[in-house]
Every structure is written in C-alpha cells, then in structure tokens.
Amino acid sequence: MGKTAHEIVTSDRFKALVRKKWNVSMILTALLFVSYYGYILVVAYGKDFLSTKVGEFTNWGIILGVGCIVFAWILTAIYVVWANNVYDVEVDELKKSML
Amino acid sequence: METSLGQVNATSVIFFLVFIAITLYITYWAAKKTKTTKEYYAAGRSISGFQNGVALAGDYMSAASFLGICGMTSLKGYDGMIYACGWLVGWPALMFLMAEPLRNLGKYTFADVVAFRLKQKPIRVAAAIGGILVLLTYATAQMVGAGNLIKLMFGLPYEVAEVIVGCVMLVYVLFGGMIATTWVQIIKACLLLGGVTILMLLGLSHFDFNPGVLYGEVQKMYSVKMLNPGGLISNPIDAISLGLALMLGLLGLPHILMRFYTVPDAKAARKSVMWATTFIGYFYCIIPIVGFTAAVLVTQKTIAGVDPGGNMAAPLLAELLGGTPFMGFIAAVAFATILAVVSGLTLAAASALAHDLYLNVFKSGVATEAEQVKVAKRSTIIFGICAILIGILFKGQNVAYMVGLTFAIAASGPFPAIFLSIVWKKLSTAGAVAAIVVGSVSAVICIILSPTVWVDVLKNKEAIFPLRNPAIITMTLAFVCAYVVSILTPDPEAEAKFESEKVRCYLGVGAE
C-alpha cells in the first residue's frame, strides 16, 4: 500500500534526508563563503603577503586567485558525488515506498 | 603596431557570415520542432545535462567579461584576476541552494516556483516586474556594449550594429524558441572557449608555455606592481557587498534559471551546473593569462591607444599572434557572444510576459497552446524592439554600472523570494510580494544614489548612499520584509500545501 504525501513528509526517513541535504548544502556554502571572502579580505588587508614571491616570479596572490576558483570547483564536484551516491539512492527508495 | 581593427575586415565578415548561416539553419531546423509552449520555452525538456551545462556557460560568459577582464588584466595587472574570481563563485552556490528544487518545482519560469503554493496573481505580477527589471538592465549593458564593440572592430555605425544584433537575435528566438537559443549558446560557448584557448596557447608559446616566465616578463617590462593587488579593493565592505551580489545575484537571473527547465529532471539539472562551473572556471582561469600576454606582447601603450578602457586587448593580441584572419575570428566570436546572450535575455523576458502575466494573470491560467505561443512570440518582438531602442537611447552613455545593478536587483528581488519559498513554510503571499518589490526597488534606488551613478554618471559631488553595490543592504532588507510581512499576514492555505511541495521538491514526484 502506497503512502500519502503527508505520511512521507512526516516520516523520520524523509525528515532525516531533508536535514542531511541541507546540512551538506549549508556546510559547502559556508566553505564557499569562507574561501571567497577570506580571499577578498586577504586582498584588502594582506597585500604584503600576497606580494610575497613563491617561485621566481609567481606570488601568493596569483596562487590564491587561481586556488579560489579551483576550490569552488572542487566544492561543486563534492556535492555532485554526494548527491549521486547518497541522495539519489535515498530518494529512489523513498519513492518506491510511495507506490 | 599597425592594426586593421576598426576597418571592415574580410575574414571577420566571412567568419561572421558563416556563424550566421549555421545558426539560421539551426533555427530553421528548430522551428519545425517548436509548436507548443513546452518546446518554445523549454526546448521540450530534451536538452541533456552536458548540453545545458555548455549553454549555461554560454549564457554567462559575455563579451563584456571576455574583453573587459582581458583588458583590465593587461592594463591594471593582478586586479583583473580578483574580478575574474568573483564571477565564478555564484555557480557552486546555485548548485548547493537551488538547482534541484528549482527544477522539481518549476515549469517554465522562476515564478512557477514561488507561486507553487502561494496565490498566483500577486506573485506572478511581482515576479514579472522583478524579472523584467533584471533583464532590461542586463540587456541595456549588453546592447550598448555590442554597439561600441562592433563599431571598434568592424567600423560599422553604432545604430546599424544595434539593428543587426536586434534583428538576427529576433529571428533566432521568434522562430526557433528555446531549441534554437540553446544551440546558438552551445556553438557560441564552444567558439569562445576554443578561441580563448588558442589565444592563450599561441601567447604562451612565446614564454616556453610557462606562466612563470610570462609573469617574469611582465615584471621586467612594467614593474612588480602589475603582479600585486592594487586599488580594486579599497573598501572591504564594498567588496563584500559586490561579492554578495555576484554570488547570489546569479541565483535570481531569470534567463539562467529558465535554462533549468530545458533538461528532463533534477539529476540532469545538477549535471548541467557541474559542467557550467567547469567551463566557466576554466574560462576565468585563463582570461588573466591572455591579459598578461597582451600586456607584454602588444604593450599597454598600444592597447590603451586603441581603446582607453583596454577592451581591445584580446583582438589586438589575436592580430599580433595569428594575423588578420585570427583577429577576424576573435572579433566574430565576440559578436556571436553578444547575439547569443541577448537571445537568452529576450526569451526569458517573453516567458515572463506571456507565461506569467498573460496566461496566469490576465487569463487566470486558461488559454490554448496556440494562443500562448502566439502571445509568447508577440512578447519576444516587444522585448526585442525595446532592446534595440534602449541600445540606441543609451548611445555614448557609461553603462558599466548596469551589470552590477543587474546582479544587485537579482540578489535582492527574485533570489530571497525563491529561496524562502523553498525552505520556509510560513512564507505568505504578501511576504513574497513584499520581498520581490522592496528588494528590486530598493536596489535600483540605492544604485542611483550610490557613487557609481550619483557621482560618476550624474556628476554630483558626494554620493547619498555610500556603497558602490548595495546588495548587502537591499538583500537583507528583502529578507527582513519577507519575514515581518509573512508573520503579520499568515497564509494557512499556503502552509498546508508545504507538504506536497516538499515531496515534489526533494523527491521530484510530480515534477513536470
């Protein structure tokens, strides 16, 4: 016997899934904010540090600038891997229980 | 350096005509498949996640950012890189906060999501106003940029350029709807990414393919200051506010959100954001390298001599490295880019006018498919003509602030309402309307009173509103309004529907 929308939404399993989804989303969003604003604040207050050379000519500023973009991409990839392997599986099982 | 920029150049005209011929053929092919609203607005939900990802990247990578960031890096150095970074960070946020719910809850426009459990008419009117405001400001920036660029590159008069862009774009959207618009975006994104990659590789070949050697040359030729952060971020609060607008404004851009309805399901929506982030991230990583290369090989003197803003750095570099044919190619790519972006904006505006206002407000949701498509096409023509007129009206104006304004309105108007409608049970109709209206209007007012317009454009001595980008204040205001108004005007009916919204939002059950 299939469950109604009300039964699904009030089930512990659904609640846990939604909570987990937002936990993952919020943690990743927080990391994104910290990395981007961290970079902006370093640009604002740590100009000397960013001007320090790493190699012969490359400096921390260039590395952090590119790093900021790469890190944002990695966060996105983490979400996709999590959603494909954890979230979608849970969703499929919950959907089956509705049939 | 002698340049043939600004003259009608045979190769660029040929490249451009080839692009037009191919895209018009696609439009012809798409027109045969475009009969219903689902096909007109959403390409029949037949676009794959990867294709949509490329198209999203195409929608987002505008000629202004390609030419502008290249120019900024070539003239001002490192600051161009800080700017480039800000353009990417919205994409992960879009993925984490909205991609899947948006796809599951909506049909054609973001207003579908907000109106899911709230009262249709007030929400649709507010969303259409907020959405059209965003699209108009963005289209203004694009159209004025288009006229100037085409004048610089091909030597065509400004008004002629406006009319050409407007008319070609109208043919795509009018006859080919979302299918043609999507393929134009995909072709343009491939051309742009390919062109920039070749430009970077040709440039780096002069530096042993080692960016470190390039930075060394930059340092020797100019000074070490080129590689260090300069004056871009003088006021951290301003920088944070601009960052907020860039990041969350993306989540309120109607033409971007609309693309999510072209894919079959939430999984494909997720995939498309991943691909879009990949391409856009790559684009913004290599653009500063092209800028630095131009600074060394073309020299700042030549770049600033052609255009003081530096916008011609990339075409000049192309001419130096690959001769007139390659410059013609890059110029044609820039033109194609503008065409594609304006097409996307026009289709989104048509959906706001026809789907949100005509169908759901004037016709209370009842109209035949044929009627809806007819109105959608009329709306397309209206917005297209408006875009051409606005482009001509703003000739010679400084519209650099328009892009910032677009993102500020999008972050303050549509975004808070969409986000709250997904996560907050108690959001009421009045609360959502208040958020969209207060957010959009306050963003416009604050920008007008800010240094960007009040001082730079209107030439007053001192700005009334201190921040260059108001998002930090206006977005907060929109959220506060939504909260207070929703608490004051509870909407039990909407709260009752929250459960079925949740099932559809998280599980995709019943998604269209």
Write out the two tokens for B421: 């409608």
B65 close to A (CB below 8 A): no
Give residue B500's identity as a one-letter amino acid code: S
ipTM of the complex in this document: 0.93
Q: B78 and chain A: CB distance < 8 Å anywhere?
A: yes
B87 → chain A, closest CA residue: A69
Contacts of A32 in chain B (CB under 8 A): 89, 92-93, 96, 247
Q: How confident is the model at residue B149 (pLDDT cuts 50, 70, 90)?
A: confident
Helix (H) or strand (E) segment spanning residue B311: none
- Give yes or no for residue B383 having a pLDDT over 90: yes
DSSP letter, residue A2: P
- Is A31 part of the contact surface with chain B (CB cutoff 8 Å)? no
Stretch B446-472: mean pLDDT = 87
Least confident of B57-66, B263-272, B280-289: B57-66
Q: How much of chain B exceeds pLDDT 90, in percent? A: 63
Q: Which one of B85, B102, B425 would you mutate to disrupt binding with A, by most A Cβ within 10 Å of its Cβ?
A: B85
Instruction: Give the helix/strand (H/E) hosting B258.
Output: helix B254-258
Average pLDDT, chain B: 90
CA B211 vs CA A63, B189, B296: distances in Å = 12, 25, 12
pLDDT tens digits along B91-128: 999 999 999 999 999 999 999 999 999 999 999 999 99
B89 inside 8 A of chain A by CB? yes
Say if residues B59 and B259 touch (Cβ distance below 8 Å): yes
Query: Using the 8-state DSSP alphabet, how is residue B454 labeled?
Result: I
Domains and CATH numbers, chain B: 10-398 (1.20.1730.10)
Q: How confident is the model at residue B152, as a pLDDT?
A: 77
Count of Cβ atoms closer than 10 Å to residue B488 Cβ:
11
Is residue B431 scored above 50 in pLDDT?
Answer: yes
Tell whether B38 lies on the interface with A, counting CB pairs under 8 A.
no
pLDDT at B500 > cutoff 90: no
Q: Is the pLDDT of residue B354 over 50?
A: yes
* pLDDT tens, residue by residue, A48-96: 888 888 877 888 989 999 999 999 999 999 999 999 999 999 999 888 8
- Predicted confidence (pLDDT) per residue in B194-217, tens digit: 999 999 999 999 999 998 899 999
SS (H, E, C) B162-179: HHHHHHHHHHHHHHHHHH
Q: Tell me how far apart the alpha carbons of residues B452 and B473 are, in angstroms, rounded to a whole number.
A: 16
In this predicted structure, the answer to whether residue B298 has a pLDDT above a threshold of 50 is yes
Of B211, B233, B507, which is closest to A94 when you measure between CB atoms? B507
Residue of B nearest to A50 (CA): B228
Over residues B4-32, the pLDDT tens digits come to: 666 667 777 888 889 889 999 999 999 99
What whole-number distance in Å separates Cα of residue B32 and Cα of residue B55?
A: 21
Whose tokens are 């219903």? That residue is: B36
Per-residue model confidence (pLDDT) at position A1: 45
Locate tokens 């959009």: which residue?
Answer: B440
Looking at the complex, does the CB of residue B369 fall below 8 Å from at least one CB of chain A?
Answer: no
